Amino acid sequence: MILSNISTPLLGLVDTAVLGHLSSAQFLAAVALGGIIFSFIFWGFGFLRMGTTGLTAQAFGQDDRQEVAALLTRALSLALIISVALLLLRRPIAWLSFSLLQSDVIVEQFALQYFEIRIMSAPATLCSYALMGWFLGRQNVKVPLLVVLITNFINIVLDLLFVYYLKMQVDGVALATVIAEYIGLAVGLIFALRILRKNTLLWRWCDLSDMSQFKAMLMINSHIFVRTWCVIFAFAFFAAQAAKMGTVILAANTVLLNFQTFMAYALDGFAHAIEALVGKAVGAKNRLMLKQAILTAGLWSLVISIIFSVIYLYFGRVMINMLTTLSQVREVAYSYLPWLIIMPLVSFVCYLLDGVFIGAMLTKQMRDTMLFSLFCVFLPVWHYTQNLGNTGLWLAMTMFMLARSLSMLIVVNNKELLEKY
């Protein structure tokens, strides 16, 4: 799962490096703005993966094979409905997004160009979320790894082809992503069909027409939806405030957030694994498996977070230099690097416990801790540190991660999880 997860931010690093070596920071800033919008649009529906993982893992633990197949049918259907709605509403979405994320006029023009191409990947992206969640719930991590590696390899190759050889700019980066996403979805569907046929299972209409099951899925997904949008809002707010401070600050923060994203995806390897393990333990009503999974994943998450902090401490400047040749962007990024050094130690707990809460379907508690962290910590800290500029932004983000970790630990220490099962 770590190998699968880190390939995604590696792609982001390649996008940053490709555009960071062009003649202007405006290209990098444009993709940063576009990335914010698609974080809202796509990862806002991340419940298609997370909810599917937890529900499938519990059905898998109960050895209910037909329900496992039914969950894939419902998740893919929901993904298609949402993606069609997004495509139909793409123009008002673009207008609203760029009205809220005000930036340099030229940067906005490039970002709009990126948006108009990238939105076409909506069906592939959202259906892939559902597929990956289903595979993880079945304890199958090899297929998600293969799909992600194929998708990102194609994306990287097309990035280089379109930008360096065909002389495209942000449109080349967007088109590469769209093509790669559809190829990845096709590979995932092929493996899913093979698994269903091997187990003599079929997609059935009755699995879609059972409104009680759909209602239960939507209730769980609504909690995850709110929680996910809170996370996205925090990072989008962070970027929007940076954009108001100028293109150089926005570009520098984008470079540094690649480090944060890379670390988060690596640690999410444990979170995704524990979603499946906790879900299976809950489905099988195995308390010992539940405790062992949490303790083992917790230990290794701590070890990996320490390693990331050490790497950023000793090689952070080298990594910044690899991502951009723009001297102004480099100097600003150097000055805020210490925040990235401490971030892994502050945030690894919340990443891990996200997986525990999803696997156990404690989605309401996960939503509530996120609402507390955003509205009672992140926004107040930012409000009272605005005079510190970008330093205040990084302080608010660090406190946001710390609040998430501590509030989720409180829930676990109150033994809500173990008492429920």
> How far is the C-alpha of 93 from the C-alpha of 41, rounded, in Å?
9
- Return the percentage of the chain with pLDDT > 90, whole number: 33
| pLDDT recorded at residue 419 | 55
Rounded distance between C-alpha atoms, residue 15 and residue 159, angstroms: 7
CA atoms within 13 A on the CB side of 83: 22
106 pLDDT higher than 80: no
Helix axes 47-61, 327-359, angle to 10 degrees: 30
Mean pLDDT of the residues in the chain? 84
The CB-side HSE value for 171 (13 A sphere, CA atoms) comes to: 6
Question: What single-letter amino acid sits at 97?
Answer: S
Of 194-198, 215-219, 266-270, 286-290, minimum mean pLDDT range? 215-219
pLDDT at 417 over 90: no
Handedness of CA 125, 374, 51, 134 (dihedral sign): positive
Residue written as token pair 């949490």: 294
pLDDT for res 339: 95
In which band, very low, low, confident or very high, does the pLDDT at 399 lie, cut at 50, 70 and 90?
very high
pLDDT of 386 reads 93
Q: Distance (Å, rounded) from C-alpha 247 to C-alpha 234?
A: 20
DSSP 8-state class, residue 101: S
Q: What predicted TM-score, i.e. pTM, was given to this entire model?
A: 0.75
Rounded average pLDDT over 346-362: 89
Residue 352 has what pLDDT?
92
| Cβ-contact 324, 13 below 8 angstroms | no
pLDDT of residue 205: 52
Candidates 183, 185, 158; CA nearest to 172 is 158
Give the pLDDT score at 225.
86
- Rounded Cα distance between 163 and 312, Å, is 29
Element spanning 144, H or E: helix 142-160
pLDDT band at residue 170 using 50, 70 and 90 as cut-offs: confident
**Mean pLDDT across 64-84:** 89
Contacts of 92 (CB under 8 A, 6+ apart): none
Q: What is the pLDDT of residue 229?
A: 85
Q: How confident is the model at residue 62 (pLDDT cuts 50, 70, 90)?
A: confident
Task: Give mean pLDDT, residues 124-146.
Answer: 89
Query: What pLDDT does residue 12 have?
Result: 57
Measure the CA–CA gap between 213 and 219, rounded to whole angstroms.
10
Is the pLDDT at 238 greater than 70, yes or no? Answer: yes
